Amino acid sequence: MRTKSKKTDTLLAHAGRDPDKNFGVVNPPVYHASTIISRTVAEYEASGRNRYNQVTYGRHGTPTSMAFEEAVAAIEGGYRAVAFCSGAAACFASILAYVKTGDHLLMVDTTYGPVRGFCTGFLKRFGVETIFYDPLIGAGIEALIRPNTAAIYMESPGSLTFEVQDVPAIVAVAKARGIPTLLDNTWAAPLFFKPLAFGVDVDIISATKYTVGHSDAMMGVAVCTEESFLRVRNSATEIGNAAAPDDCYLALRGLRTAGVRLRQHQQHGIALATYLSQRPEVERVMHPALPDDPGHALWRRDFTGASGLFGLTLKKGTSKKAVAAMLDGLELYGMGASWGGFESLILPTHPETLRTATTWDSGPALRIHAGLEDIDDLIADLDSGFARLNAAR
Ligand SMILES: *Cc1c(COP(=O)(O)O)cnc(C)c1O
């Protein structure tokens, strides 16, 4: 299939598979492989040079991981993609592709918690300085750039609090200075935002979330331009990354239905956010698709939709005991990390512990993942939760 002219939903159904190569079977098979046999000395010696273009060793890629990479690269509009064993590995290896001792990294303050930990722990130990910046900085990022600024990292909307970044403004500043940009696109992928079309150099996705979509596998992927590909690919090799073939298969299978799933997650997320914004117990809902959200204008300009993950805060003074009474009795919302599966989730969050460039002051914060259950049942479950919260005050 020629992928260039095709729309995302068509690519979700067709990219990265070729029944003609597999006995007419619709889905690519799972290849379990470490050793790859060469027939001649010449072939063996060539394999070292061609390790990213053909199957040469299990760690460098199997036909299954390559099919996944080909599919995601087409869907995200990239040159090539690199599959990782987790989303976190994709974040860390992509950063490591650009920084060395003595460098300076600009990191968004609302970054995924473990990425913050990687910067303040691992990178600091190796002499890379991270400066966290306000997610709303936009073109103001210019003032933070130094001669040794090696990369600018974005995540939009931000983890836990969902601030939308002005990606074009930041990319314009970065491009004028020749600084590469990386963006964690997990919230919107694989449908609602295309970072590479905005000039971002590395589009990072935790495929554990909507790509796999069924809460049963860990996967990550970094989608690259022609310029960024070898850097990220070599970085993955240097940290010994290998994406497991069964998990690549699950991620590929998840992609095929990601379009319809995400639209349903979007619809349920907006319905829950709207319901919550009308509850007297709620201080604020953080969902960029709501018209009064501070990020709404940027979201409308740059995104084509919203996923099912959003935040809210309860009124100040709501006790820990009342929050626990609400959450402990929920029937349909699991309390667990990660998200993007078919099922609804809820978590208490603590944004104030994960901010240094900005301050966070609110009542108790929650994060909800709107699943695919019936929306009336999802709302009724929250209704009962609020009744317990009010009884426990
Ligand atoms: C979950 C998540 C990651 C990490 O992905 P894993 O697959 O859990 O390692 C990275 N970024 C964001 C925004 C995430 O939500």
- Ligand 1 centroid to 122 CA: how many Å? 18
Active-site choice (112, 153, 249, 333): 112
CATH of the domain at 64: 3.40.640.10
State which of 203, 236, 256 marks the end of a domain: 256
Chain center to CA of 7 = 21
- Does residue 209 have an active-site annotation? yes
- Residues 19, 63, single domain; the answer is yes
- Residues 201, 348, single domain; the answer is no
* Number of separate domains in the chain: 2
Query: What does the pLDDT average to over 32-40?
Result: 96
Report whether pLDDT(33) > 80: yes
Question: Residue 72: inside a domain, yes or no?
Answer: yes
Question: Residue 280: inside a domain, yes or no?
Answer: yes
Angle (CA) 338 339 340, round 5°: 140
* Token pair of 319 as six digits: 């006790």
Question: Residue 170: inside a domain, yes or no?
Answer: no
State which of 229, 256, 283 marks the end of a domain: 256
Question: How far apart are alpha carbons 202 and 195 in whole angstroms?
Answer: 8
Q: What pLDDT, in 10s, does the model give residues 12-24?
A: 999 999 999 999 9
- Does residue 194 have an active-site annotation? no
- Residues 22, 75, single domain; the answer is yes
CB-ligand 1 contact for 235 (6 Å cutoff): no
List for the chain the helix, strand, coil content (%; round to 5): 40, 15, 45
Confidence of residue 301 (pLDDT cuts 50, 70, 90): very high
CB-ligand 1 contact for 160 (6 Å cutoff): no
- Does residue 17 have an active-site annotation? no
Q: 391: which residues sit within 8 A by CB, 6+ positions away?
A: 325
- Residues 279, 369, single domain; the answer is yes
Predicted TM-score of the model (pTM): 0.98
CB-ligand 1 contact for 94 (6 Å cutoff): no
Question: Residue 116: inside a domain, yes or no?
Answer: no
* Token pair of 234 as six digits: 């070599």
Mutate to test the pocket of ligand 1, among 95, 164, 186 (most ligand atoms within 8 A of CB): 186
The predicted pLDDT at position 1 comes to: 72
Q: What pLDDT, in 10s, does the model give residues 258-287?
A: 999 999 999 999 999 999 999 999 999 999
Q: What pLDDT, in 10s, does the model give residues 307-325?
A: 999 999 999 999 999 999 9
- Does residue 59 have an active-site annotation? yes
Question: Residue 107: inside a domain, yes or no?
Answer: no
Q: What is the amino acid identity at position 21?
A: K
- Residues 72, 197, single domain; the answer is yes
Question: Residue 169: inside a domain, yes or no?
Answer: no
Question: Residue 202: inside a domain, yes or no?
Answer: yes
Q: Supply the range of the domain harboring residue 46.
A: 8-98+180-256
Active-site choice (109, 166, 184, 302): 184
β-bridge partners, 312: 285, 366
Task: State the chain's mean pLDDT as an integer.
Answer: 97
CB-ligand 1 contact for 218 (6 Å cutoff): yes
